[in-house]
Structure 1
Amino acid sequence: MPYKLSATLAAHTADVRAVVSPTDGLIISASRDATAIAWARTSQSSGFSQTAVLRPGSRYINAVAYMPPTPDAPQGYAVTGGQDTVINIFSLENTNGEPNFSLIDHKDNVCALHTGPDGTLISGSWDCTAKVWKDFRLAYDLIGHQQSVWTVLCIDDRQFLTGSADCSIKLWNQQKNVRTYPGHTQAVRGLALITDIGFASCSNDSEIRIWTMEGDTVHTLTGHTSFVYSISVLPNGDIVSGGEDRTVRIWRDGECAQTIVHPAISVWTVSTMPNGDIVSGCSDGSVRIFSAAESRWAPETQLQSYDEQVAAQAISLEAAGIRKEDLPGAEALSQPGTKPGEVKMIRRGEIIESHQWDSANYSWQKIGEVVGAAPSGKKTTYKGKEYDYVFDVDVQDGVPPFKLPYNVTENPYNAAQRFLQAHDLPMTYIDEVVKFIEKNTAGATIGPANVAYSDPFTGASRYQPPPRATGSGTSDFMDPFTGTSRYRAASNPVPKTPAATLPVRNPLYFRQANVSAMQSKLYQFDQSLRNEISTSSYSMYPQELNLIDESFVYLTQAVAHPLSPPATPLNASHVDAIIQVLERWPAGPLFPLMDLSRLIIGFCPDAYADPAVRSRLITALFKAAEWNEPWSQPLPRQRETNTLFLVRAFANMLQEGTSLGDGKWVVELLNKLGEGPYAFLSKGTRVAMATVLLNLSCIGLREPLSDELWNLLIGVDLSLLADEKEEAEAAYRALVALGNIAYMAKEQQRPLDGSQLDMVLQIIANLSSVFPQDRFTEVTRQIAPLL
């Protein structure tokens, strides 16, 4: 029988972050509303009622566990952990809310708890440690993970498993790490024992892996389209998982047997009962029980109401990456799905519907309507992307407000986290930002109203935003290859360049990066190519891997300490390895390699100083970005991203110590860039293009340009200023480059010719109406006397 809704337990007022169901008659849930609730079955039916509400403090509770009965606690104990760093243990006999024991030793948020049959307790924390407790006292410190410990598992009273945001799983014998299981490419979020095999793990990389204790991978289960947060095992051996794609999935014999869509943004946690029922906790504050036993199904009216809630969800048309006119009509639903969980979108008049194949009932289930416009009917463009809202947020008196972009179909905590990272603001403000979003988008959010949604916890990077670079990039990008990975090309937006005093002599660089995420994604793609017979020949050779490994080691230190890079620099061999892979790989997985190229160019100019190496590198980058291929709008995401990195790389190539020689290679470079239609470029790429011109003008202040390069720089810069009508930062950087050109014309006694001067005067006259900002007025005021 398929699983269907059995009961909905509604009492929490915020995200349910953890559930545990040790018996058929007991559920304990923990929430961001700072409470844990014990629920008991009221009869043999599906009904549950509250028996205890536990309030260990005023901070979020993120983890819960159950300890078996003792003579002092005949009903057992509820164990909670959360932001206050304290593990609180409550006897379920005690309903006055005071903990019987409090374990104090973690230094940061306690995000994982698990207990063994004998009462041994293990905890995991953002402080990068796990701790084992016996008889309510600390027994072992498990130290070895490099980032937060997101999940823990007690095998017996001596053996333990831990999973971390450092992408690894570790097996411990007492306090000794005896085995490490590499394989996941993003944070490990859940662990579960599997009898007679070993254990299962789930991860932000959207995969579930089945392992033997010896370290062999038995199965890799793929089907989730985003982070997988939690995993549990049914009595019959089937696996249950829940994640950010708002689904609970049941896996049988390596295949997805059923997908249960939830009317919420995130399924944070899943648990299984001895009778085979499934419990889920979600971002809408609800605990739900699903059963395969028809006798425990909810009444038909409740089942219908649940389906209607799921169908009422809104899904972003842009996020789905589709065009309305390409969709089939309702007749497409007459064809059965090919696999459980398959999603099909149809057009019913002007309404776009999303349906999912329910293999258990052999039918298509409507899971939402797809929206493509802001609630007001109009999107707002910010940093090259469209949003339903772009708020002005005043952070400090006398400082211009920061922009906060938000789409109603995204998790408010995601938007808040992105905003705080972008402006180097403390993560302690995240809840205030979420409240601001919810207040100002009332009635426009997905799902039930008045529910505080929660961030998907992307690991240590959530709390360690990358350092701001000297010249930043544009909007951040989601993984264009999978559409779900949280690897971002650049997490900081382009800072608005203040009004300049001419001449501007210092180039701007694109050097900020999340190197570890870049490395993980590159190796994930390499492994994917290696695992397929048809693409195995593309994978990296051992020598290439060694050289690229060395590149990441160097850049990790260089990005963290840009003023004092490592003593041993990269050389032409490292660049050659990257060129070979760029030339060999298909375009889809190239973007982390393009990103790596950008960084090496920015930090290691000597590595490609040889003209032959530089020429090969430039050619390989143009080819990887498909620069010579036909252009069409909109550009595919992978091509847009690779093009952005291409132009940023060339901006980094024109840095303070760059010698142009005869300038021929720069002439070829600018001519080639000029072949790309400017209107097709994203706003971020336009900013990078203007930075190329600005940096070249900075070099021209100290090293006179050849006549050919001089005239080419003037022509391309004036063309960009004439064409740019939207992206102020691109126009401003090109205007500063024009200011440098005017200064050079006067100082180097090489005046502009009549046509050039006429075009400069025309552009300056038009700029004031297109970009009326003070910084434009100030620079044009300085340019006028130089002409």
Structure 2
Amino acid sequence: MVAFALSATLAGHSQDVRSLCIASSNSIISGSRDATAIIWRATKDADKKWESARTIPDPDGKFISSVGTVSVNGEKYIAIGSQSSKISLWTAAGDESARPTHTLISHKHNVCTLDSNDSGLLISGSWDKTAIVWRDFKPLLHLTGHEQAVWAVKCVGEDRFLTASADKLIRLFDSQGKLIQTYRGHSDCVRALSLTHDGRGFFSAANDGNVMLWSFDKPSPVKVFNGHTSFVYSVAALPNGEGAVSSGEDGTIRVWSHGNLAQTITHPTISVWVVDVLPNGDIISGASDGMVRVWTRSEERKASADEVRQLDQAVASRQLNKTQVGDIKHTDLPGPEGLARIGKKDGEVLMIKNEGKVQAYQWSNAESTWHQVGEVTDAVGSGRKQVYNGIEYDYVFDVDIAEGQPPLKLPYNVRDNAYTAAHKFLVSNELPISHIEQVVKFIEDNTAGKQLGSSQIPAGSADPFTGGSRYQPEGVHAGGATYSDPFTGSGAYRPGQSSSGGASGDSDPYTGGGYRATAATKTFSPIKTPVYFQTINVDAARNKVNELNSDPECSLSQTERATLDQIYNQLKSSSVASLDSGLQDFDPATFLAVVTRWPEDKRFPLIDLCRILCATSSALASYQSHSGEGVVELLLQACSFDADWPTAGSKTRDTNTMLAARALANLTKTEAGKTSLTGDRLTELLEHLAGRHAFTTFNKNTRVAFATLALNLSILAVENQLPAKHARALLQYIINILSNESQDGEVVYRSIVALGNLIASPSISGSLEVGDIEVAKELASGVANSIGEQRSKDIMQHI
């Protein structure tokens, strides 16, 4: 087989290229997370083989996830699917000033895949678990049945439709939307589909690392192609029935020719999101570095020697993590002389030590040579194996599930998929699958940089069920731990102390010392010590975000990674300790876009970062989007506050809401935050917080956080920093908390202090109705007596 070589590099996008479409024999369309699609046209210029002919923005400014074309009534349209859940259609003959002619609205989530046929039918797939067939800009069929996101769709001829989903299944539907066949074979999310050249079958690609060939009349795969070392995101059939090409998270394109791996094309980036094949047989790819690349077998279309050299240098300079190549014993590696041997197969990776560095090389069958593909970091290991059930493993961990019971064995090889190992461990021991994320994190924590062969968990490592050292958002505890105030460590608000104090015991709320009964005074003295939730383990948060970034739904662009790195570096600096450090050196819009884009069950570490930024960053506090949304509105979106609360407990919603509530309380620390929070919308916010859900719905930590917001706002009232127009809304908010609290003394105490502050504020009290004040005082007194804590009773005597 003649090898593919670089033909052209198309630079135009500023973020990941997630989708490609062959528009004609000499034009392609690329869609990117920079919210634009670009039409590229081939030229006859040997130095510039492709040029950008037109840029199309997403009408809503959202990430573009899919692109395609469709002809309706003789006119050709460009289709763009995006994170907005809409599909916009643009006339192919339009120019830069054109606007979409049609907008298709029916999906409820990101439209991640599009396809069409010669009859003018368009099919779309979405994270909302459905596929829709469109005719003449209207829904014709809703294809349902998948239990997870529909990642790929294909029109099969004129009257059948193929769908692939994160539920691991591929389904075939007829022209009436009736299910004809279900195809099973993949063990993880199916990401891509491509019809074979003869139309008798199709290829699929999945997160299990496999490409599969199927026949339409058989429910099981005809052949499995294994060669990728990570998720496979895309697959496209080669012309003339030769085979297929695929791309994935290992940064490569794999060329499968006549059933075998014929070539591995390494990119200078980690994620190659999409691959397709032009009518002339050239390959196009889109990657996380924002580039579209064209690869060819034709000598006349190959790139110049300088372009090839630049690409080779970029590939060679890649930093490969140990998890991409397996654990390595540095002393056992050959030197450069190891490159003298012939590779065993295309794509084989060989590590050598050269001038104190570990370098990775990859064998090319087509060129019969080794190409450097990166430099390996964290290359350590003892090389000693452990035997469990007659099989050798790099690690065999002892995992304590319950006190008094023998530990369970968790075997793992560094080249294994951590999710596969975790799943097998849980199933074998009849443990809940819901623990899988904890087990994966445990594996990753305890195999990164450790020596091979230890059968015991290294000192300081974390059990995945008790969760000692795994990342948790500030204040979220594992196991059966009780709530603890993040500053005092004992769960009690102590206005007489610094918020970072560590005093223990029963403290007097005024002196901070041991509790002693005090005589009631005639008037209440406002308490002006706010509470901020500002502790964070930055490294742990960074590690958790990086871990979740491996999930395709959470992948970060280079710009987003750079923004997060700026945030991490600033949060670790000493300036964060100042009252208003005004962290400015990052783009709040980029950060908040990630917070609201990530799936609800994955975004908690980002909301946690938002929490600390609300107490430290004037830039974040004063941010406002083009549509007028500020950080307050975006926080409520991030925790899905407006959605109906599940009847069953939801740990995700609990955690996200608690973190968002703490972030709101933290806004009262900076001057910009105070301005943002106490603006015209504060009354609306307080009414919304009090009215959308019953406070009894929230867990204890969340209720404490909402009470802390009331406390901090009341202190602003005492300091004449709260506009009087918001006084009544704040009083009603406090009443709502107290009328729904019957268990937690901390919620009651902070709410009662807030009530006392509000009533004692000269600039505010005149705005309050006497009847409302009396209702609040009577309610607070009754709750204080019911809870039975002396500190709350004393405050009520003062009020």
TM-score scaled by length of structure 1: 0.52
Distance 1:438 1:416 in 2: 15
Q: Matches of 1:60 and 1:462 in 2, distance apart?
A: 12
Aligned to 1:192: 194
Distance in 2, Cα, partners of 1:432 & 1:391: 24
Is the Cα–Cα contact under 8 Å of residues 563 and 587 in structure 2 kept in the other structure?
Answer: no
CA change 1:178–1:373 in 2 (3 A) is closer
Instruction: Work out whether residues 275 and 286 of structure 2, in 8 Å CA contact, stay in contact via their aligned partners in 1.
Output: yes
Tell whether the 8 Å contact from 1:392 to 1:401 is kept in structure 2 after alignment. Answer: no
Contact 1:413/1:430 (8 A) holds in 2:
no
Alpha carbons of structure 1 residues 267 and 161: separation in structure 2 relative to 1, 3 Å: same
User: Displacement of 1:217 after TM fit?
Assistant: 1.8
Q: Structure 1: how far apart are the matches of 2:160 and 2:302?
A: 39
Is residue 15–residue 557 contact of structure 2 (8 Å, CA) maintained in 1?
no
SS in structure 2 of the partner of residue 6 of structure 1:
strand
CA distance in 1, matches of 2:240, 2:111: 31
When the two chains are superposed, the root-mean-square deviation of aligned CA atoms in Å is 4.1
**Structure 2 match to 1:640:** none
The residue aligned with 2:165 is 164
Q: Secondary structure at the match of 1:133?
A: strand
The residue type paired with residue 208 of structure 1 is V
1:351-430 mapped onto 2 (5 Å cutoff): 351-372=357-378, 384=446, 398-399=532-533, 401-405=535-539, 414-415=546-547, 417=549
In the alignment, structure 1 residue 465 sits paired with structure 2 residue 607: no
Structure 2 Cα separation of the partners of residues 220 and 420 of structure 1: 22
C-alpha distance in 2 between matches for 1:204 and 1:239: 17
* Paired position in structure 1 for 2:136: 135
Aligned counterparts, 1:238-249, within 5 A: 238-249=243-254
Aligned twin of 1:336: 342
Give the aligned partner of residue 297 of structure 2. 292
Check 1:406–1:234 CA distance in 2 against 1; reply closer, same or farther (3 A cut): farther
What pairs with 1:721-740 in structure 2 (closer than 5 Å)?
none
What's the counterpart of residue 206 of structure 2? 203
**1:716-753, Cα deviation, whole Å (9 max, x unpaired):** xxxxxxxxxxxxxxxxxxxxxxxxxxxxxxxxxxxxxx
Secondary structure of the structure 2 residue equivalent to 1:439: helix
AA at the equivalent of 1:3: F
When residues 407 and 279 of structure 1 are mapped into structure 2, their CA distance, relative to the original with a 3 A threshold, is farther
Letter of the 1:361 partner, please give it: E
Task: Report what 1:346 is aligned to.
Answer: 352
State the one-letter code of the partner of 2:310. Answer: S
Aligned to 2:56: 54
Per-residue CA deviations over 1:376-414 (Å, capped at 9, x if unaligned) read xxxxx99656599x9999899633534354899x9x964
Aligned partner of 2:225 in structure 1 is 221
Contact 1:81 1:113 in 2 (8 A): yes
1: CA distance, partners of 2:563 / 2:290: 20
Inter-partner Cα distance in structure 2 for 1:231 and 1:262:
16
Taking a change above 3 Å as real, the CA distance of residues 419 and 51 of structure 1, as seen in their structure-2 partners, is closer
CA distance in 2 between partners of 1:405 and 1:190 (Å)? 35
Instruction: Determine whether 1:230 maps to 2:234.
Output: yes
Deviations 1:302-341 (A, max 9, x none): 1111111100101124653112112111111111111111
Other-structure match for 1:82: 82
Deviation at 1:465, TM superposition (A): 3.3
Distance 2:72 2:106 in 1: 25
Q: Which residue identity is paired with 1:12?
A: H
Is 1:326 paired with 2:326? no
1:356 maps to amino acid:
Q
| Structure 1 residues 414 and 19: alpha-carbon distance in aligned structure 2, compared to 1, 3 A threshold | farther
Give the Å deviation of 1:10: 0.5
Pair 1:420–1:5, CA change in 2 (3 A)? closer
Q: Secondary structure at the match of 1:128?
A: coil
Residue 349 of structure 1: CA displacement? 2.5
In structure 2, the residue matched to 1:275 is 280
Q: Tell me by how many angstroms 1:191 deviates.
A: 0.3
> Aligned partners of 1:85 and 1:343: how far apart in 2?
41
| AA at the equivalent of 2:130 | T
User: Structure 1 vs Structure 2: percent identity of aligned residues?
Assistant: 35
Q: Is the 8 A contact 1:416 1:430 kept in 2?
A: no
Distance 1:420-1:167 versus aligned 2 partners, 3 A rule: closer
Cα deviation code 1:511-569 (max 9, x no counterpart): xxxxxxxxxxxxxxxxxxxxxxxxxxxxxxxxxxxxxxxxxxxxxxxxx9799xxxxxx
Q: What code does the residue aligned with 1:223 have?
A: G
Equivalent-residue separation in structure 1 for 2:555 and 2:203 (angstroms): 33
Tell me, yes or no, if the aligned pair for 2:15 and 2:559 is still in contact at 8 Å.
no
SS in structure 2 at match of 1:217 = coil
2-structure distance, mates of 1:361, 1:338: 13
- Does structure 1 conserve the Cα–Cα contact (< 8 Å) formed by 2:197 and 2:240? no
Measured at CA, do residues 206 and 373 of structure 1 come closer, stay the same or move farther in structure 2, by a change above 3 Å?
A: closer
Say if 2:105 is the partner of 1:99. Answer: no
Deviation at 1:114, TM superposition (A): 0.8
- Give the match's secondary structure for 1:236: helix
| Equivalent residue runs for 1:658-677 within 5 Å | none
The aligned counterpart of 1:182 is 184
Ranges in structure 1 where 5+ consecutive residues have no aligned partner: 375-380, 422-426, 443-449, 456-460, 469-474, 476-491, 493-559, 564-787
- Structure 2: how far apart are the matches of 1:172 and 1:140? 10
Residues 289 and 558 of structure 2 are in contact (CA less than 8 Å); yes or no, is this contact kept in structure 1? no
Residue equivalent to 2:435? none
Question: 1:77 offset after TM fit, Å?
Answer: 2.1
After TM superposition, the structure 1 = structure 2 runs for residues 469-480 of structure 1, keeping only pairs within 5 Å, are none
Contact 1:124 1:151 in 2 (8 A): yes
SS at 1:12 equivalent: coil
Query: What SS class does the counterpart of residue 102 from structure 1 fall into?
Result: strand
What is residue 485 of structure 1 aligned with on the other side? none
The answer for the alignment partner of 1:63 in structure 2 is 66
**Residue 707 of structure 1 aligns with which residue?**
none
Asked if the contact 1:278–1:291 (Cα under 8 Å) also holds between the matched residues in 2, the reply is yes
What secondary structure does 1:309 align onto? helix
Please tell me whether residue 250 in structure 1 is matched to residue 255 in structure 2. Answer: yes
Q: TM-score, normalised by structure 2?
A: 0.51
CA deviations on 1:693-729 (whole Å, 9 max, x unpaired) are xxxxxxxxxxxxxxxxxxxxxxxxxxxxxxxxxxxxx
- Cα distance 1:429–1:185, how it changes in 2: closer, same or farther (>3 A)? closer
One-letter identity of the residue aligned with 1:264: T
Unaligned runs of 5+ in 2: 381-442, 451-469, 476-485, 487-530, 570-585, 592-596, 609-646, 651-799
Q: How does 1:531-680 map to 2 (within 5 A)?
A: none
What amino acid maps onto 1:178 in structure 2? I
- 2 CA distance for matches of 1:429 and 1:318? 19
**Alignment length, in residue pairs?**
446
